[in-house]
Amino acid sequence: MRMPAGAFAERGADLELVGIQKRFPGFTAIENLDLTIPAGSFFALLGPSGCGKTTTLRLVAGLEEPTAGRILIGGADVTGQKPHQRPVNTVFQSYALFPHMSIIENVAFGLRRRRIPDPSGKAHEALRLVELDHLAQRKPQQLSGGQQQRVALARAIVNRPALLLLDEPLGALDLKLRRQMQLELKSIQEEVGLTFLHVTHDQEEAMTMADTVAVMNKGRIEQLGAPEQLYELPKTAFVANFLGQSNLFTGQVAGTTSEAISVDINGQPIIVALPRAHRHTGDVTIGVRPEKVSLHLDKPVTDAARNLVGPGRVIDVSFSGVSTQYLVAVPGVGTMVVFAQNMAFGPVAQEGTEVWLSWNIEHGFGLEDDPADVNAEAPKFPADTDTRSIAAQKRDALISELEEG
Ligand SMILES: Nc1ncnc2c1ncn2[C@@H]1O[C@H](COP(=O)(O)OP(=O)(O)OP(=O)(O)O)[C@@H](O)[C@H]1O
Ligand SMILES: [Mg+2]
């Protein structure tokens, strides 16, 4: 069924990217991107700096032309359309409100220009949605950063675009306000039923807000799925390390049953449930999340349902309130990270303590990556710079640019 894009404007539209490639002179930002975002969904594009997130949004908005491929919105091919012809609105990180206009005039501006009836009634409605109608007569500089952000959002949704693109829209806010705005954005999206495509560096933000998260790396989607699915069953080392932390091991498959594979890690067998292992033969990389691992002060009795490694030695203990992180050096296996909830006062093991580690074989996972590639790329990826510091850097850069000019 093909319908004009405008017909979807009330409930959001499907977005399809088909075989998209984007080459800049001397640099391929997007290799080959295929993506379908169902109507009415909250979709997050998550990835490190420079992986191609903004480029993807700019392509969808029509601010950039793809080198190859097509873009469809609500079934209609918009690849050749100008930005203003597309049923799309974008909220950029810099809110760009008109400083001389009141809040209500800012929100109604686009409606007036397009001669849409009752601009001020519609603008008030949008402001009520972001709970700012009581400040409608103020000027932007009389609002806080978070309030200005919400005005920018009201201005974007007042047009009822089928698709709303959000590029790090919460980057300039402090952590608490950011968390609060995440919940508000989510409820606004549910209320208005638009399709949201949200770009972020912040894995927690992506996981709490989105129905579907696509993890992007070097211009490609590494894995796409519901947040829990990505977290519990990462397919690649990149996803396993970008979305939270992982303990990864590489070894050869030594045995396979109908239920599990056994991987030989320097003579130590580690079992992974078969449906959770992407590769079943040869060299494989397997892993387990730190919170799935239990720490034992005495060697536990053998349990066929659990992997057991050790004894190892605690080499670092760091307390973080709700949990304690232990680094445990296990001979032959490597250094493992364990998160233990603080059920009692203080850590259960000190630096130097001898411990055993165990986890349910149903909690491990086996990656799709060829271990040769994983190790070539170095399995430990540096922690991504957090959104706030990037926003701060951008602001500093802007300020120095303005000062120079
Ligand atoms: N006009 C351009 N010419 C050449 N290269 C570009 C251009 N625009 C972007 N790039 C490159 O394309 C890559 C992707 O850029 P993009 O802005 O999409 O990254 P991003 O994922 O949004 O990163 P960030 O999280 O830092 O905003 C980067 O390596 C960037 O240097
Ligand atoms: Mg960007």
One-character DSSP codes across 283-305: EEEEEE-GGG-EEESSPPPP-TT
Ligand 1 pocket residue status of 27, Cβ below 6 Å = yes
Ligand 1 pocket residue status of 49, Cβ below 6 Å = yes
| No. of helices (H) and no. of strands (E), the chain | 10, 20
Report the SS3 class of residue 254.
strand
- From 20, 45, 49, 55, mutation site for ligand 1 pocket: most ligand atoms within 8 A of C-beta: 55
Q: Is the pLDDT score of 233 beyond 80?
A: yes
Q: Is the pLDDT score of 255 beyond 70?
A: yes
Residues 185 and 285 in one domain: no
Residues 209 and 271 in one domain: no
Region of 220 on the Ramachandran plot (φ > 0 left; ψ -120 to 50 alpha; else beta): beta
401 falls within a domain: no
Residues 109 and 9 in one domain: yes
- From 30, 51, 389, mutation site for ligand 1 pocket: most ligand atoms within 8 A of C-beta: 51
Element (H, E) at 396: helix 387-404
Range of the structural domain that residue 216 is part of: 5-228
Percent of the chain with pLDDT over 70: 88
386 falls within a domain: no
- Counting from 1 in the atom list of ligand 1, the atom nearest the Cα of 52 is 18
- Counting from 1 in the atom list of ligand 1, the atom nearest the Cα of 53 is 21
Residues 43 and 173 in one domain: yes
Average pLDDT over residues 196-220: 91
Number of domains the chain contains: 2
Q: Is the pLDDT score of 176 beyond 90?
A: no
Q: What's the whole-model pTM score? A: 0.81
Tokens for 298? 């005495």
Tokens for 152? 């920018």
Categorize the per-residue pLDDT at 292 as very low, low, confident or very high, splitting at 50, 70 and 90. Answer: very high
Ligand 1 pocket residue status of 345, Cβ below 6 Å = no
Assign residue 123 the CATH number of its domain. 3.40.50.300
Ligand 1 pocket residue status of 53, Cβ below 6 Å = yes
The residue whose CA is least distant from atom 2 of ligand 1 is 24
- Counting from 1 in the atom list of ligand 1, the atom nearest the Cα of 199 is 22
Average pLDDT over residues 139-163: 87
Query: What is the CB neighbour count within 10 angstroms for residue 21?
Result: 15
Residues 218 and 251 in one domain: no
Residues 58 and 85 in one domain: yes
403 falls within a domain: no
Instruction: For residue 366, report the distance from its CA to the centre of ligand 1, in Å.
Output: 32
404 falls within a domain: no
- CA–CA distance, 150 with 185 (Å, rounded to integer): 9
* Residue bearing the bigger pLDDT, 276 or 387: 276
Residues 22 and 122 in one domain: yes
Kindly report whether the peptide bond that precedes residue 311 is cis, defined as omega within 30 degrees of 0.
Answer: yes
- CA–CA distance, 369 with 37 (Å, rounded to integer): 26
Instruction: Tell me the per-residue pLDDT of 5-56, one tens digit each, with 9 for 90 and over.
Output: 333 345 677 999 999 999 999 899 998 999 999 998 999 999 998 899 999 9
Residues 192 and 298 in one domain: no
Q: Is the pLDDT score of 381 beyond 60?
A: no
Instruction: Tell me the per-residue pLDDT of 98-124, one tens digit each, with 9 for 90 and over.
Output: 999 999 999 999 899 889 999 999 999
The residue whose CA is least distant from atom 18 of ligand 1 is 52
24 falls within a domain: yes
67 falls within a domain: yes
Give residue 191's Cα distance to chain centre: 22
Report the SS3 class of residue 110.
helix
Categorize the per-residue pLDDT at 399 as very low, low, confident or very high, splitting at 50, 70 and 90. Answer: low
Residues 210 and 331 in one domain: no
Ligand 1 pocket residue status of 29, Cβ below 6 Å = yes
Percent of the chain with pLDDT over 90: 61
Between 24-33, 161-170, 204-213, the lowest mean confidence (pLDDT) is in: 161-170
Residues 58 and 129 in one domain: yes
Residues 163 and 218 in one domain: yes
Q: Which ligand is nearest to the CA of 52?
A: 1
Instruction: Tell me the per-residue pLDDT of 342-361, one tens digit each, with 9 for 90 and over.
Output: 887 767 889 999 999 999 99
- CA–CA distance, 196 with 75 (Å, rounded to integer): 17
* Residue bearing the bigger pLDDT, 390 or 247: 247
Ligand 1 pocket residue status of 24, Cβ below 6 Å = yes
114 falls within a domain: yes
Classify each residue of 309-336 as buried b or exposed e, where b means 16 or more C-beta atoms within 10 Å of its C-beta. Answer: bbebbbeebeeeeebbbbbbebeebbeb
- CA–CA distance, 240 with 288 (Å, rounded to integer): 9
52 falls within a domain: yes
Measured N-to-C along each axis, helices 119-129 and 145-157 cross at an angle, to the nearest 10 degrees, of 130
> Residue 102: which residues within 8 A CB-CB, separation 6 or more?
136, 137, 138, 139
Ligand 1 pocket residue status of 58, Cβ below 6 Å = no
Residues 193 and 317 in one domain: no
Instruction: For residue 197, report the distance from its CA to the centre of ligand 2, in Å.
Output: 13
- CA–CA distance, 316 with 370 (Å, rounded to integer): 31
Assign residue 329 the CATH number of its domain. 2.40.50.100
> Mean pLDDT for the chain?
87
In Å, what is the CA distance from 160 to each residue of 14, 40, 88, 150, 189?
Answer: 15, 13, 9, 16, 11
- Asked if residue 15 lies in contact with residue 203, where contact means CB atoms within 8 angstroms, the answer is no
User: Dihedral (C-alpha) 346, 350, 355, 359: value to the nearest 10 degrees?
Assistant: 40
- Asked if residue 74 lies in contact with residue 7, where contact means CB atoms within 8 angstroms, the answer is yes
Instruction: Name the domain boundary from 193, 228, 263.
Output: 228
